Amino acid sequence: MKVLVCDKTEKECIERMRAAGLTVDTSFEITPEELMTTLPAYDVAVVRSRTKIRQPLIDVCPNLKLIVRGGVGLDTIDVEHARSKGIEVRNTPLASSDSVAELAIGYMFMLARSLYKATATMKNEQWEKKAFTGDEIGGKILGLVGVGNIGKATARRATALGMTVLAYDPYVTQFENGQIVPLDELLAKADYISLHLPKTKESANMIGAEQFAKMKDGVRIVNCARGGIINEDALYEALTSGKVAAAALDVFSEEPPTDWKLLKLDNVIGSPHIGAATKEAQTRVGSEVAEIVLEFAKR
């Protein structure tokens, strides 16, 4: 069985597959154009968020039997079309859950205490002690939109910090560390809103001007899920009007952004889609990828 690893993956994962007798080639910088001529020779494709496998590529790969996405989201793969061609599509939903949840919680602390602004003033040799009176996150209401593996991991940490967790998820009726409520109730009550759901046709732009209007004045928003779930123009208006006090964004509609206006606001902090970028998560992702491929090879 021939495996093409298209994005940077742990060396141990690659060596483990080779040790099992698989032919594993790596091309971490392969371009979309190169994939069209290279991938047809392979049985398995291993990808991360960089590489996209869309219908035109799938249609020229007669040997392809398995696509493994090292990570959670499958929005970079035309899953339904792949499966219609008999290609199995798998991901690693548990491997990075804790890392993304920790980033979301870390962002809440940063927003509550204006840590980015405080650090910036110190680097400018300013001692603005009276300018940074913040808030405790204990006692606040956290609204989770989506309670899959990452949402549940975030909820566990939030309740340990003394937050009350309300959650909206059309596929979940109850969970251990919070209460499932309608989306409108969550929007009206939450002091912090954190997104933890995939981007789909249903979730694209699901947080827009209408939803911002229903939120508390001064709400804080965290998005470590997928860009495009929040309408960025509506978010910009909410941030500049004061409706939203601050936002922390790890993901964007376009990555990297072509319009940086959100990041230039003083009440926005961001990172370049690093939710799963911890040593521990990368090790777990690599291990799970290898297990999926090796299990498939034994069939």
The residues that are catalytic are 226, 255, 273
Render 129-192 in DSSP notation, one character per residue.
Answer: GGG-----STTPEEEEE--SHHHHHHHHHHHHTT-EEEEE-TT-S-BTTBEE--HHHHHHH-SE
Cα separation of 196 and 175, whole Å? 15
Backbone angles phi, psi at 72, to 5 degrees: -95, -55
Residue burial 12-49, b: 16+ Cβ < 10 Å; e: rest: ebbebbeeeebebebeeebeeeebeebbeebbbbbbbb
- Cβ–Cβ under 8 Å, residues 60 and 36: yes
136 Cβ neighbours under 8 A, 6+ residues apart: 112
DSSP state for residue 216 in the 8-state scheme = P
Cβ count within 10 A of residue 164: 17
Tokens of 137: 């996150």
Cβ count within 10 A of residue 125: 6
Tokens of 59: 């249609």
- Cβ–Cβ under 8 Å, residues 107 and 248: yes
